[in-house]
A and B are shown apart, each in its own frame.
Chain A
Amino acid sequence: MSKIHVTTTVNGDPVEFLADPRETLLDCLRDHLGLTGSKEGCGTGDCGACSVTLDDRLVCSCLVLGVEAEGRRVDTIEGMADADGLHPLQRKFIEHAALQCGFCTPGLLVAAKALLVQNPDPTEEEVRYGLAGNLCRCTGYDKIVRAVMDAAAEMRQEAA
């Protein structure tokens, strides 16, 4: 199948790649752009390890075709920390021991960031439902929920 030229923006940078029309956005990020921070845990949109935002909307990149990124804006885990340092969520995940194997961590961080944009002051229940699309098999979620709530509190304080 002939490939399609895709021009898009990833983590603020203009990028181009050639995508087989059957390839997912996740495949393109990982195999064409070398951005392997987004993970494939299921390929069916059930685990959330491939979470990215597409024009600020949280998506499973395994359920988006690479060619759909044309002209859009993709943000991945690789763009979460900036020159000034880690995002508060990233810091709090380390501080709270909210990761064990770390495989679900990139997707959880991207999803948590999207959640806090929508709801800067979530209850525990809102965090649990907000992250229900991201499977973690190691932690039982306890420390993840605490890390997200702590990061949210810090971000609210910074914003105030």
Chain B
Amino acid sequence: MAKDEFKEFRLVGTRPDRPDGLDKVTGRARYGADISAPGMLWGAVVRSPHAHARIVSIDTSRAEALEGVKAVVTRADFPTGLTGEDWDLQENTMAGERALYDGHAVAAVAATSKLRAEEAARLIDVTYEVLPHVIDVDDAIKPDAPVIREGAADATVPEGMPPNVVRYMEFGHGNVEAGFAEADLVREGHYKTEATHQGYIEPHACLGQLGGDGKGEMWVCTQGQWFIRKMCAGVLGLDAAQLRVTPSEIGGGFGGKTTIFMEPLSLALSRKAGGKPVKIVMTRSEVLRATGPTASASMDVRIGMKKDGTLTAARAEFRMQGGAFPGSPVDMALYCAFAPYKLDHVAHVGYDVLANRPKCAAYRAPGSPMGAFAVESLIDEMCRELGLDPMEVRLKNAVREGDRASYGPKFASIGLVETLEATRAHPNLAEPLGPNQGRGVASGYWFNHNGETSVSLAISEDGTAQVSIGTPDIGGSRASIALMTAETLGIPYEDVRVNVVETGALGVNEPTHGSRATFASGKAAVLAAGQAITEMCRRAAAEWGIEPEAVEWVDGAAQPAGPNAGKFPPMSIAEIAGKMGETGGPISGHHESVPEGVGASFGCHVVDVEVDPETGRVTILRYLVVQDAGRAIHPAYVEGQYQGGAAQGIGWALNEAYIYDDKGRLQNPVFLDYRVPVASDLPMIDTVIVEVPNPGHPYGVRGVGETGITPPLPAIANAIQDATGARLRALPMNPPAVLAALKAARGA
């Protein structure tokens, strides 16, 4: 559909109550830990207190002797011979020869009560031989660094690299040296970001059951029930189809619930306990120590700029550790780093590095915030040095449709220029600033993933519709999919019920990740509705005795298409549905594909801060998020994504960080010390939804979930410099770090 074919919609763009709202304000909604089963056991996990240690022995006898203990499992209870990601997942689920990080699971127990399981876990005696460890990414590539795993490097790593480098990449285009030679100013900077956690408020929880016949079921809070199925089956050597996985309501994920942690343990314990269901609920400390935070990064960026602000060349070299396994998002960080800029000469180099930390998982726009922190900070510094307006420089170099992206392909329809223009026009930029106050601007980018998608729609006997989707609803996607389905069918929003279903009910679906749910499940639902409409037109045509092609669907009814088709009164969806038994049976629609036509999303944030020169505390005075949504199906939940992303980015910028002691033990595994923003830390977060419709989606949707976490890191650093003259190049910018930077700036 071309842009100019968009018209005013009846429902798309409105803000109805979400379908699951009532359940969620009354406490009825059932999350991961809210389900119990008859005969259920409780599981508890024994975790390594060491960052790196050889497991000499595990003595389970005292635990097994405790009354009420029904099963104990260690790595010996898992199949051997796995390779690749299956092995990584298994090794992360349950340590083998060595514990690789503080919190790594080494054994698990199931008992008749939660307290008994915890007591039994304390009775498992593990003897460790502590090994040297490494936490920091730069330390991990030093010549004398402890080696996490010999031979872990893949084929991309050239000979002679340090052994903890497991993946290496180089890409770009043009000739950066020639580009730097064209510049009036070439600057480079070194930046570091610490690991942060998604910080979803719901700890991981599951209720797993597995019989000796290899058939099992699981209730689990997850972003993707098919991922849970595939990964658990891989780790335990099961047939995927024999495991039915039902997603609970999910209490936040942000990427961290797209993989497995203790889920296979509940199944392994259940099998050993004769098939009794086993519930495992993580504590907050387990979540922070042993699930998947994001990577930490060490980054070097070099940029060339002309006096008028034109960028001539850019080079980025990023090193990221993603824990004791390959998979840090260094590739994505590099793809996004220069994405907002038209560059003829650009080069990227990336190192994926192992360290003694938990296996990182996705966290909202994985990698992009770190890269943006480095690049957007340096561009801001160069604008200051040349006396240029950072908004104008961003507009001058902004990519447009047809431009080659810094990471290779040509951009399809994008809305960066429109986003920057809307930002420049916003009244927040005209607000006066007082002493110790400053303003910072930054852009951000994230992709829109498609992924395997399967959706079924069925028309009920009364003409209402049910839609079965496979992407869990984390932030209101039931509402957006109901809106699009109702719009397409020409029926009221309230006549559509969207159900998130278990793995037995649909073909494979990727999780709610990659900003894809409203795009991919939404597009599939619209196409499924189109199939149902075709069938309803066919039924009407048969009754009227005309060709199906002579029937069109208008406002929820079949009608003859034009005067030549014949003269019949419209036949409503309720009328057609009411007699479907006599006219050919059930009416449904189905769509499955990897939907084409994803639309990337750019954003621009403007933040005003005040820096207390005595304490170094940074207060957010004003915050603006401007982002291209393509088309906002339910604008309130689009705003919610923008605001939530900004708040997480603010936390990452100012406070949040994994803090390790010299033994490699996490020092802040509770919310008191891993401090995420609270209501009194933040102002209202202003939003502008830019709509440059994505031609690849029937209603123009772009994925909006992730871009919003990217700009806050550099925007706040830029604002602090504006307020104080001090430039911070490492996160978090907490009071001690800001005070040190103020002191250094005064001394300079």
Contacts and interface: CB of A to CB of B under 8 A. Distances in A.
Interface of A: 1, 20, 22-23, 27, 30-31, 35-44, 46-47, 49, 76-78, 80-81, 86, 90, 93-97, 99-106, 109, 124-125, 127-129, 131-146
11 contacts: A20-B113, A23-B115, A36-B27, A36-B33, A81-B26, A100-B644, A103-B31, A103-B252, A131-B679, A139-B644, A142-B684
Given A77-B27, A86-B25, A44 B476 contact: no
A139 B640 contact: yes
Given A78-B27, A135-B671, A145-B679, 14 more contacts: A37-B27, A39-B201, A39-B202, A41-B251, A42-B284, A47-B671, A93-B21, A100-B637, A101-B252, A101-B474, A105-B24, A143-B636, A143-B639, A144-B679
A104 to B, nearest CB: 5
Contacts of A125: 680
Contacts of A138: 252, 474-475, 640, 644
A38 B31 CA distance: 11
B29 A77 contact: no
B17 A94 contact: yes
A137 B648 contact: yes
Contacts of A128: 679-680, 682
Contacts of B648: 137
B670 A44 contact: yes
A92 to B, nearest CB: 9
B680 A36 contact: no
B30 A36 contact: yes
Contact of B676 (A76, A96, A106, A135): A135
A39 B670 contact: no
Q: What 3 A-B pairs are tightest by C-beta distance, nearest first?
A: A37-B27, A103-B251, A102-B24
A107 to B, nearest CB: 9
Contacts of A39: 31, 33, 201-202, 251
Nearest to A22: B115
B18 interface: yes
A109 B25 contact: yes
A97 B15 contact: yes
Given A78-B27, A90-B26, A135 B678 contact: yes
A78 B284 contact: no
Contacts of B636: 96-97, 143
Contacts of A38: 27
A101 B251 contact: yes
Contact of B202 (A30, A96, A101, A143): A101
A96 B684 CA distance: 14
B415 to A, nearest CB: 22
Nearest to B22: A94
Contact of B640 (A40, A49, A97, A104): A97
Given A44-B671, A81-B26, A141 B679 contact: yes
B114 interface: yes
B670 A42 contact: yes
A137 B114 contact: no
A40 B26 contact: no
Nearest to A127: B679
A37 B27 CA distance: 4
B637 A129 contact: no
Contacts of B474: 100-101, 138
B249 A102 contact: yes
Taking each of A41, A90, A95, A145, which has the highest tally of chain B beta carbons within 10 Å of its own beta carbon? A41
B28 to A, nearest CB: 7
Contact of A101 (B25, B28, B475, B679): B475
Contacts of B249: 101-103
A102 B284 contact: no
Contacts of B254: 137
Given A97-B640, A142-B643, A142-B684, A106 B201 contact: no
Contacts of A100: 252, 474-476, 637, 640, 644
B25 A105 contact: yes
A124 B251 CA distance: 26
Contact of A140 (B22, B34, B637, B643): B643
Contact of A36 (B34, B639, B644, B677): B34
B684 A20 contact: no
Contacts of A37: 26-28
A106 B27 contact: yes
A100 B647 CA distance: 14
B216 interface: no
Contacts of B679: 127-129, 131-132, 134, 136, 141, 144-145
Nearest to A146: B684
B684 to A, nearest CB: 5
Given A90-B26, A102-B20, A134-B679, A43 B284 contact: yes
B201 A135 contact: yes
Interface in B658-703: 670-672, 676-680, 682, 684-685
A122 to B, nearest CB: 12
A35 B36 CA distance: 12
Nearest to A104: B201
B200 A137 contact: yes
Contacts of B250: 101
B520 to A, nearest CB: 19
A109 B27 CA distance: 10
Contacts of A127: 679
Contacts of B25: 81, 86, 90, 93-94, 99, 102, 105-106, 109
